[in-house]
Structure 1
C-alpha cells in the first residue's frame, strides 16, 4: 500500500494542477511555452499520472496497467490481472 505521506502529497499536487489548469490551457492555446515553463513544476497534470496506485512508486511505471513493474509482477504471479500469465522457462 502507498505511504500516507505520498497520498497526501498527491492530493496537494492535484490542488495545484486544478488551480493552474485554466492558465495552462490559455498559455497552450497561445503557444506561449516559455510562460508554461514559469509555472510551478507541480502545475503539470502529467506529474500526477505516472505513479503506481498500489505502492506509490514512480519509477519503472507501466502505463498500460497503471502500476509499477514490481506490483505488476506480483499481481501477475498471483493471477490478479486478467489476460496476463507468468511466463516460465
Structure 2
C-alpha cells in the first residue's frame, strides 16, 4: 500500500490539471500561430506562471486498489501483482492464468 500522502498529492495534481487545462490549451494554440517574438514571449511567460503541478506530464497513473505507481495496466487500472491475484481468484472474467 502506498503512503496516503503520496496518493493525496497525486489527487491534488489531478485537480490542478483539470483547473488549468483550458488556459494551458488555449495558450499552446496561441503560441503555435505565426506571431512576433515578443508576443510569443508573453504567452510563454503566461504559461510559465501557471502552477508547476498543473502540467499533465506530472501526473502518474496509480493502482486503483493499492496506489502503487509502477507496473500498472491501463485496461484494468491495477498493478501487476494485484491483477495476478485477481486472476487467480477468478475475479476477472476472460483472463486466463499462464501455465506451461
Moved beyond 2 Å, runs of 4+: 1-7, 27-32, 37-42
Counterpart in the other structure of 1:85: 96
Counterpart in the other structure of 1:13: 13
Gaps of 5+ in 2: 33-43
Tell me the TM-score normalized by structure 1.
0.71
SS at match of 2:20: helix
Gaps of 5+ in 1: none
Question: Number of residues paired by the alignment?
Answer: 87
Counterpart in the other structure of 1:65: 76
- The Cα RMSD (Å) is 2.7
Q: 1:54 aligns with which of 46, 61, 65?
A: 65
Tell me the TM-score normalized by structure 2.
0.65
After TM superposition, give the deviation of residue 77 of structure 1 in Å: 1.0
